[in-house]
Amino acid sequence: MSIQTTADHFTTTDAKVTVIAPDAGPSFTAFGSTAQFKLEGAHTAGRLCLGLAVTPPGGGPPPHVHYSDDELFIVVEGQLEVWSDAGWTPAPAGSVIYLPRGSRHTFRNAGATPSRHWVLTTPSGFDEFYRGAAEMFAVGGAPDGRKLGELAARHGYEILQPGTDR
């Protein structure tokens, strides 16, 4: 996969100094977690997005791949476990997790209380995907897998088959 810079991409003049208040930023719930986005692509000229995710005990997304962005977690509270092709790895509070684009991964809250972790992706786009996924989850019940897969593909993601993380 290659990344090309074109004239229609953001330039350095598109990004501006931004300060977000502690309680500000839109929140979206999908895959059992709620993420409050502090910086979206519109703030950063598409360079990155940053959200604070809260995941209930046992919660976490299905295994998936980000083909178009790198992902970084900073665990603030709780006991996450992260799965990659290397297997499951504990990630307690204070852990930093780097998930390069193209890596198969997922995470789960292995603790007894809600976990909190910062999610940073570069470039942005995850914020838009999560917003769209939250709309699908808000309808109630399980979202339509085909539509969710199409949304994921539009943003450079792939949701893997259940059981991939075993």
Are 127 and 51 spatial neighbours (Cβ–Cβ below 8 Å)?
Answer: yes
Are 84 and 104 spatial neighbours (Cβ–Cβ below 8 Å)?
Answer: yes
Are 110 and 88 spatial neighbours (Cβ–Cβ below 8 Å)?
Answer: no
Identify whether 15 is part of a domain: no
How much is the pLDDT for 124? 97
The CA distance from 100 to 152, in Å, is 17
Domain count for the chain: 1
Confidence of residue 15 (pLDDT cuts 50, 70, 90): confident
- Tens digits of residue pLDDT in 43-70: 999 999 999 999 999 999 999 999 999 9
Cis ω for the linkage preceding 22 (within 30 of 0): no
Q: Answer yes or no: is pLDDT of 103 > 50.
A: yes
pTM of the model: 0.88
- Tens digits of residue pLDDT in 121-143: 999 999 999 999 999 999 988 89
Identify whether 13 is part of a domain: no
In CATH, what number is assigned to the domain containing residue 137? Answer: 2.60.120.10
Residue 43, domain extent: 23-157
**Chain-centre distance of CA 130, in angstroms?**
7
How much is the pLDDT for 140? 84
